[in-house]
Chain A
Amino acid sequence: MSNRAVPYEKTLALRMLNDMLRIRRMEEKAAELYGAGKIRGFLHLYIGEEAVAVGALHALRPDDAVVATYREHGHALVRGVSMNAIMAEMFGKQEGCSRGRGGSMHLFDAATRFYGGNAIVGGGLPLAVGLALADQLQHLQRVTACFFGDGAVAEGAFHESMNLAALWRLPVLFCCENNLYAMGTSLARSESQTDLCAKAASYRVETLKADGMDVVAAHHATRIGTEHIGEHGGPFFIEFQTYRFRAHSMFDPDLYRDKAEIESWKQRGPLHGYSARLKSQGLLTEDEFLACDAAAQAEVDAAVAYAEAGTWEPVEELLRDVLTAAPASGARS
């Protein structure tokens, strides 16, 4: 873990901590609700990786765009989607941020330019290239941040997108969350070249490795990336080295990882490391930590209540939003 001093004033320092706690408590609750049958489908938890989303997204501007994966609860939350809307979506309620049509893997929010929520590995990369192309053509100075995992680098979409973004000098910030496993297959077992920055660099994309367990490092790397894009145009690639503490999804018995490996990464957990540094720098007291955690827990409780109180969309509305002009029943099929 980085021992670099936390360079923030207290408000920002605590907001980062608070956001990591909000993700952690929300997802712990989601796992519990999954067990209780309130949340169904696939549920992929981000626990352990929170520093990446929090660090990276705090370095973006409100008019930037975000494209994420199916492990995106944290990204949506930090980007500004309300926990109520996220929880309601996981419940399948129409008060959810995708009206219950998407679920855990497909959180969307136009207001914060949060473009999902993509459950095809690598599927979001071409989309991000296109969003950045639109910005370039319209002379808009903004960035599209595209999150994806280490598994995505095996997809053709990764290579095609790297090339297009570099060739056309598009303002895409590629944020690779390398948690070392594509579901159950380790990077070393699936890639001839495990240095992900080398892959991006082969397309003449500027790259940076960052400690994805350290929110300060993640934030700093993202700032470097966005500043580089602003100054030089063209894409930037960051490999966030991170680890998920939970299994791939709720169906995963996690037979492919060594327990000692998991434990060693937990020692580098993003929450306690960061809060310890804040305390040593006099930016945080134990009481403040407890208050912060209690606030996150209260937000979770309220979100669960909101989702419970949410309503099921009438089945009569099943066919809405397939096409923009809602068809009269049976007219279009």
Chain B
Amino acid sequence: MRTSYREALRAALREALQDDPRVFLMGEDVGRYGGSYAVSKGFLEEFGPERIRDAPLSELGFVGAGIGAALGGMRPIVEVMTVNFSLLALDQIVNTAAALRHMSGGQFSVPLVIRMASGAGRQLAAQHSHSLECWYAHIPGITVLAPATVEDARGMLAPALADPDPVVIFEHAQLYNLEGESNHGGPVDIATARIRRAGADLSLITYGGCLPKTLEAAELLAGMGIDAEVVDLRVLRPLDSASILASVRKTHRAVVVDEGWRSGSLAAEIMARIVEQAFFDLDAPPARVCSEEVPIPYARHLEEAALPQAAKIVAAARALMGK
């Protein structure tokens, strides 16, 4: 069935709300406004204000309340408008949600799902455009997901809700209007990476909003006689090292494409794993395409220049291939 990323998220949320009375959605403007990305439009009328709970602009407070509600027997889905705003809640996510199970000696798990939009591309400048997935992927005690396809937008929520521990889901803001096939509409695994395009010459490893750009780059490379494999990480923590390494051992070359800034990036972590574990399988040093080290600017041409683009990915791949 052909649908959009936004509709897939809506279908998954509606199903969760229908199936489990413990599930409720809480966040800024999720109710009467309909969700800042219109993901929960109409849900207030359908499920009522207790379960579609508009929260004041208190990210720390309502994310923490989500943690408490999860401890108290509910299955909250907390929506944070953007990853930039989630920094106001970082204390509760890192110091409480992620740590509670461990520091209580295994007594208290936190079955909380946090959704947030991330990423640039809409000229929203430096306080609404960042990709800080890497910061969350650094934290033991949480699982971090980056659905990049309609199928994952539809299928990741159910297993995230079934997970007894906190799960953070990043929805790249550029993907909401993405159209694609949602084959079965059922749950998908939230443990493994996927090959989105098989290839023999090099591995392009990416996630989230960079997946469409990377697939586009792979098509351009095909026209140049370079057969690229595209690996969609899907799960940013824990990383599916086995799938990454299997692809690299097949192609012997890797380019990591990551919208985060280069320094201390997820790309850096992936390259480190490749070098640690597949060094002797490599025919060339691994390369990466990341965002330039600048707060994301407003002007369209500057924003485009700051971000990974298909042309940059193609250039990096060609350099690696010596073509």
A residues within 8 Å of B by Cβ?
65, 96-102, 106, 108-110, 115-118, 120, 123, 125-135, 137-138, 144, 156-157, 160-161, 163-164, 167, 320-325, 327, 331-333
Which residue of the partner chain B has the closest CB to A97? B105
- Shortest distance from the beta carbon of A72 to any chain B beta carbon, whole Å: 13
Residues on B with beta carbons closer than 8 Å to the beta carbon of A135: 72
> Which parts of B182-197 form the interface with A (CB within 8 Å)?
none
Interface segment, one of B10-18, B89-97, B198-206: B89-97
Chain B, interface residues (CB within 8 Å), range: 35 or more
With A102-B104, A322-B101 known, 4 other A-B pairs at CB within 8 A are A129-B65, A132-B72, A164-B55, A325-B164
> Which parts of B63-111 form the interface with A (CB within 8 Å)?
63-74, 76, 91-92, 95-96, 100-109
Residues on B with beta carbons closer than 8 Å to the beta carbon of A324: 101, 109, 163-165
Would A130 and B66 be within 8 Å (CB), given that A123-B96, A137-B74 are in contact? yes
Cross-interface CB contact of B70 among A120, A130, A157, A323, cutoff 8 Å: A130
Residues on A with beta carbons closer than 8 Å to the beta carbon of B177: none
User: CA A80 – CA B189 in complex, angstroms?
Assistant: 42
User: CA A127 – CA B100 in complex, angstroms?
Assistant: 11
Cross-interface CB contact of B105 among A102, A129, A332, cutoff 8 Å: A102
- Shortest distance from the beta carbon of A50 to any chain B beta carbon, whole Å: 24
CB–CB A99/B106 < 8 A: yes
Cross-interface CB contact of A130 among B72, B164, B165, B238, cutoff 8 Å: B72
- Shortest distance from the beta carbon of A65 to any chain B beta carbon, whole Å: 8
- Shortest distance from the beta carbon of B279 to any chain A beta carbon, whole Å: 18
CB–CB A161/B101 < 8 A: no
Which residue of the partner chain B has the closest CB to A128? B68
Query: Is there a chain A Cβ closer than 8 Å to B264's Cβ?
Result: no
CB–CB A96/B105 < 8 A: yes
- Shortest distance from the beta carbon of A266 to any chain B beta carbon, whole Å: 34
- Cross-chain pairs A/B with CB under 8 angstroms, 15 sampled: A65-B72, A97-B105, A98-B104, A101-B103, A126-B60, A127-B65, A133-B74, A156-B58, A157-B60, A157-B91, A164-B65, A321-B101, A322-B101, A324-B163, A325-B164
CB–CB A160/B239 < 8 A: no
Would A321 and B106 be within 8 Å (CB), given that A129-B61, A163-B58 are in contact? yes
CB–CB B67/A126 < 8 A: yes
User: CA A135 – CA B239 in complex, angstroms?
Assistant: 36
> Which parts of B288-314 form the interface with A (CB within 8 Å)?
none
Residues on B with beta carbons closer than 8 Å to the beta carbon of A160: 56, 58, 60-62
Would A323 and B141 be within 8 Å (CB), given that A137-B50, A164-B58 are in contact? yes
User: CA A100 – CA B107 in complex, angstroms?
Assistant: 12
User: CA A108 – CA B65 in complex, angstroms?
Assistant: 19
CB–CB B108/A130 < 8 A: no
Would A321 and B61 be within 8 Å (CB), given that A110-B107, A130-B70 are in contact? no
